[in-house]
Amino acid sequence: MAKEAEGQEGKERLLLHPMASLPEDLRACQGTSPKPLLPDQRAVGLVLGHPFDTIKVRLQTQNTYQGIVDCILKTYRHESVRGFFKGMSFPIASVALVNSVLFGVYSNTLLALTATSHHERRAQPPSYTNIFIAGCTGGLLQAYCLAPFDLIKVRLQNQTEPRMQIGGSEPRYRGPVHCAVSILREEGPQGLFRGSWALVLRDTPTLGMYFVTYEGLCHQYTPEGQNPSSATVLVAGGFAGIASWITATPFDVIKSRMQMDGLKGRKYRGMLDCMASSFRQEGIGVFFKGMTLNSARAFPVNAATFLSYEYLLRLWR
């Protein structure tokens, strides 16, 4: 009887081992040090997607380009390849913090709303209302953490002067730290949070939709009670990214314009004035500038992010 009890206890320990719940394709690629996976993969996604983001920001805030191709050619001709990677250092440095806030708040809010842990949610899926609320909560807090980093990134991306140009005009900011110090000195602490309301309105509802889309697709294409496969996670994460950016782009345009406001005097009296002025001067199409680029980089970046997220949750539960 004692041997049978020990054998049963051993089986239970085996079943409770984190790797026991991983699908075979994820189990086969397990590593000895999984903890850095999420920041590393997200950082790689940022590096690959940053040129798209730079072109998108310039199209949203400057009227000197005739389209995506024209912006790419002028940037390369005037600034070489380096021009596409301006402002990248702060996003890379803050990626771990920003994603920890977003996914940590989302998971814990969903836990508080449903009283079910991550591995129990496959058997007892939470309602889409709870998923949306948890995603909105994560988006709200992420926006406040992201605001200063995002503003510095946008300011640096809009500098079109080549870094090394003999006899030419020097860029206003020599780097991210100099940019932050200059904004604090010239615009005060509130200057670092310029455009933050538009950022909150961009991220709060769209990240709720982001997680609803992801969880909905995973639930749709995963057998009941099982964990989604790596392919399902990648596809669901990619389409969740596209769906969220399609809805986020109008406020993304306003956010970028508000962040650049104040650089050479105040142009807008506030967010509503920015929206009205942009619409009056450029029509309804202004609110969709950069949507193609946002969607193009959203799929691979968010697919990798969700694969890392699911992998880590299953290892650490």
The predicted model gives 4-26 an average pLDDT of 44
Alpha-carbon distances of 124 from 16, 147, 216, rounded to whole Å = 18, 36, 13
Which residues does residue 263 pair with via DSSP β-bridges, in sequence order? 265
Q: Are 238 and 303 in contact (CB under 8 A)?
A: yes
Hey, CA dihedral for 85, 56, 251, 267, is it positive or negative?
Answer: positive
pLDDT in tens, 23-64: 444 444 444 333 334 455 566 777 888 999 999 999 999 988
pLDDT of res. 314: 74
Q: At what angle do helices 291-316 and 230-260 cross, to 10 degrees?
A: 130
| N residues, the chain | 317
pLDDT in tens, 73-130: 999 999 999 999 999 988 888 888 888 899 999 999 999 999 887 767 777 889 999 9
Considering only the C-alpha atoms of the chain, give the largest distance between any 2 of them, rounded to a whole number of Å: 89
pLDDT of res. 311: 82
> Which string of DSSP letters, residue by residue, matches 212-238?
HHHHHHHHHTS-TTSPPPHHHHHHHHH
More confident residue, 234 or 37: 234
Residues 242 and 74: their CA atoms lie apart, in Å, by 27
pLDDT of res. 3: 46
Residues 216 and 69: their CA atoms lie apart, in Å, by 36
Q: Are 314 and 26 in contact (CB under 8 A)?
A: yes
Judged on CB neighbours under 10 Å (0-12, 13-18, 19+), 134 is: buried
The one-letter amino acid at 294: N
pLDDT, the chain, mean: 84
Nearest to 212 by CA among 129, 93, 288: 129
pLDDT tier at 165, thresholds 50, 70, 90 = low
The predicted model gives 187-216 an average pLDDT of 94
Lowest mean pLDDT: which of 92-106, 147-161, 237-251, 284-298? Answer: 92-106
* pTM of the predicted protein model: 0.81
Residue 14 has pLDDT above 50, yes or no: no
pLDDT of res. 83: 93
Residues 44 and 297: their CA atoms lie apart, in Å, by 12
Q: What is the CA radius of gyration of the chain?
A: 22
Q: 126 in helix, strand or coil?
A: coil
Residue 304 has pLDDT above 80, yes or no: yes
